[in-house]
Amino acid sequence: MTHLHSKRLPGPPPRGRTLAAVVGLVAALTLGAIGQAKAAAPAPDRVSGTVSSADRWTDRAHGFASLDGGTTGGAGGKVVTVTDQASLARYAAAEEPYIIRVSGAIAVEPFGSDIVVASDKTVIGVGDSGEIVHGELHLNPGTHNVIIRNLTIRDSYVEGDWDGKTQDFDAIQMDTVDHVWIDHNRFTHMGDGLLDIRKDSQYITVSYNRFTDHNKALGIGWTTNVLTQITIDHNWFTGTKQRNPSADNCAYAHLYNNYLSAQVDDGDPVWTYGNWSRGHTKMVIENSYYDGVQHPYQADATAELVQRGSILRNTAGRHDEWGAAFEPRDFYDYRLDPASAVPALVTRFSGPQKRIGAVELNVPADYPTVQAAVDAVPDGNDSAVTVAIAPGTYRAKVFIPAAKPRILLRGTGQDRSDTVIVHDTPAAYGGSTGSATVRIAANDVTARNLTFSNDFDEAAHELNGEQALAMKTTGDRIVFEDTAFLGNQDTLMTDSPNLTAISRVYIRDSYIEGDVDFIYGRATTVVERSVIKALSRGSATNNGYITAASTWKGNPYGFLITRSRIVSDAPAESFHLGRPWHPGGEVDAVAQVLIRDTELPAAVKSSPWTDMSGFSWKDARFAEYRTYGPGSAVTADRPQLPDADAATYTVANYLSGADGWAPYAHH
């Protein structure tokens, strides 16, 4: 059995992906008194005038948070979704790792209270609407390995206390912690600071956040020790007054591609400022953009500050630069965007993003097996979860139960053959269902860039049940894209929970191989732009059957194979297109199969449909439409779909159902 590489059939070119055009925003800006200071010349492969959303985020921390073992948060733990304060507090403070998805707004009581976040946690907003209102996320001393992403934390401001002197109501506060990644959040209108990183905290990255409408944005330090290492990139500070950031006694503070705009102007000549390198901090600023900022960057006499490549407009006051500081690339690699692109880039991609709330579970980096990752998905899952599977061969069975919908299984290799899920169980050991390498009972499951295989060797065994499924589905709205299904008898079964239940499956740009009934079941199934290989069993007259549909008689749509190619290594006139399967003699299972606009090989019989278990193929709903190739010659035993009916039997009509499902529209 060969694990074939991806082979997509000719067709119309895919639609262009939308790019976030951050292209040549300003060829020549009207600069402030300082202008563009010491324009840096970043490496060519790190500077792009066009930025796609796919480039703006990953699930892996970068910068200092990526060093010394990295920051993975709750990876490897269960995924939970919380909608109330009690659940958030319980999971956040637990000893074991969790990925905690915050759905909707959670109002914290009493006003200004802390939610303690313990080690090995990811707290992430679902979509762009996850909010914590009137409360603080607090990391106690000794906490490590925490990710806080995609949240809005807002509105614990104490009326009349602009300086935050009466209450210490931060959005996030941490003391003496390590390995923390704060990413794609919005912080606004809190009681003291928005983000306080205190007392020798180490290996911190703060990226793509919005700090808005506040006095004190981001403070770092409160210690005489010079230990903190922090990366601050692609953040937007707007409508804030000070601490943008203030970095006190940081060993290394790397600030790049940040956008400071519309600074609060209350006439304060000292404490209204942008970036401040304080104490013995070594600070490097690169390719940031300052617009309407007093004291855009300044340094104590004991500190060091290196600035290169930033753009300044409407700025005044201090622009300090002295000392050698450090070279960030001695610590980690990073991409530096042009300063001219920063306003458009940061305003678009900072803060909560709808896409980020889709959790990604990495196999085997964070979960040792595919099943372990599936098990981590919460029952009743209400938003997308990706199980990202690294290249390799995974010899194990996988079951996605009905209670775990909205899962994407995605191989991360360059080719679908790079990532293989395989087992070797025949039906003799557990029945057809028990033989399946992968079973999908949940709705709204997609598999992409993967190979599913059952490599049971039927030639080497004499068994009564040699059926060996690579895949069985019973869920609705199942999609397979760029996948391969490898087996012999009963390779791919697309089914439904019961005879009258209609489940839909869409298979595109894929490969399916087998010999006997190797595409079968009662689900409404479309196979489009794919290759189907009918394997020879060594017979000169009958090598098998491509389909064995068991469509409910009340369902007009069973199997549609369209715009595809059937190939075979079997002798001419030795393969059937299909036969009608009536499971257990069920008379209301009346097969419906249409093969249209598809190439057929010489191996296809001139009378390609045949009876099964006493049921005549002529009572089934078999037809072809505009098939071509050496196996397509029309005979008296080859029903052809009338032209007048062709508009009825389309991909859209097979799949739309009552909910208008249209997975093909994404291509």
**Mean pLDDT over residues 214-232, rounded?**
96
Is 533 a residue whose pLDDT tops 70? yes
DSSP state of 655: H
pLDDT for 382 equals 83
**Of the given ranges (23-27, 116-120, 645-649, 658-662), which has the lowest mean pLDDT?**
23-27
> What does the alpha-carbon distance between residue 253 and residue 232 come to, in Å, rounded to a whole number?
8
pLDDT for 536 equals 96
**In degrees to the nearest 10, what's the CA dihedral of 96, 115, 117, 357?**
90
Average of per-residue pLDDT values in the chain: 91
> What does the alpha-carbon distance between residue 484 and residue 416 come to, in Å, rounded to a whole number?
7
Higher pLDDT, 55 or 597: 597
Cis peptide before 556, with omega less than 30 degrees from 0? no
Higher pLDDT, 193 or 402: 402
505 — pLDDT class (breaks 50, 70, 90): very high
467 — pLDDT class (breaks 50, 70, 90): confident
Q: Tell me: the pLDDT tens digits for 35-58?
A: 334 333 333 333 333 445 555 678
Is 137 a residue whose pLDDT tops 80? yes
Percent above pLDDT 70 for the chain: 90
pLDDT for 21 equals 31
Q: Tell me: the pLDDT tens digits for 617-637?
A: 999 999 999 999 999 999 999
Is 640 a residue whose pLDDT tops 70? yes
11 — pLDDT class (breaks 50, 70, 90): very low
Q: Which two tokens stand for residue 582?
A: 């009536």
Q: Tell me: the pLDDT tens digits for 331-362?
A: 999 999 999 999 999 999 999 998 887 789 99
> What does the alpha-carbon distance between residue 307 and residue 256 come to, in Å, rounded to a whole number?
10
Is 25 a residue whose pLDDT tops 50? no
Q: Single out the residue of 469, 468, 416, 412 nearest to residue 439, CA to CA.
A: 469
**Mean pLDDT over residues 429-449, rounded?**
94
**Mean pLDDT over residues 488-512, rounded?**
97
> What does the alpha-carbon distance between residue 192 and residue 172 come to, in Å, rounded to a whole number?
10
pLDDT for 463 equals 62
Give whole-number Cα distances, 467 to 74, 252, 274, 610, 634, in Å: 41, 62, 69, 20, 32
Half-sphere exposure (CA, 13 Å, Cβ side) for 140?
8
> What does the alpha-carbon distance between residue 212 and residue 116 come to, in Å, rounded to a whole number?
24
**Mean pLDDT over residues 249-253, rounded?**
98
Phi, psi of 138 (to 5 degrees): -125, 130
465 — pLDDT class (breaks 50, 70, 90): low
> What does the alpha-carbon distance between residue 287 and residue 236 come to, in Å, rounded to a whole number?
13
pLDDT for 55 equals 55
Higher pLDDT, 55 or 587: 587
R_g over Cα of the chain: 30
Q: For 310-375, list the strands marked E by DSSP.
A: 311-313, 359-363
Q: Tell me: the pLDDT tens digits for 172-181?
A: 999 999 999 9
Is 24 a residue whose pLDDT tops 60? no
Q: Single out the residue of 208, 268, 262 nearest to residue 240, CA to CA.
A: 262
pTM for this model (two decimals):
0.83
Give the burial class of 34: count Cβ atoms within 10 A of its Cβ; 0-12 exposed, 13-18 middle, 19 or more buried.
middle
Is 244 a residue whose pLDDT tops 80? yes
Percent above pLDDT 90 for the chain: 83
**Mean pLDDT over residues 124-138, rounded?**
95
**Mean pLDDT over residues 266-273, rounded?**
94
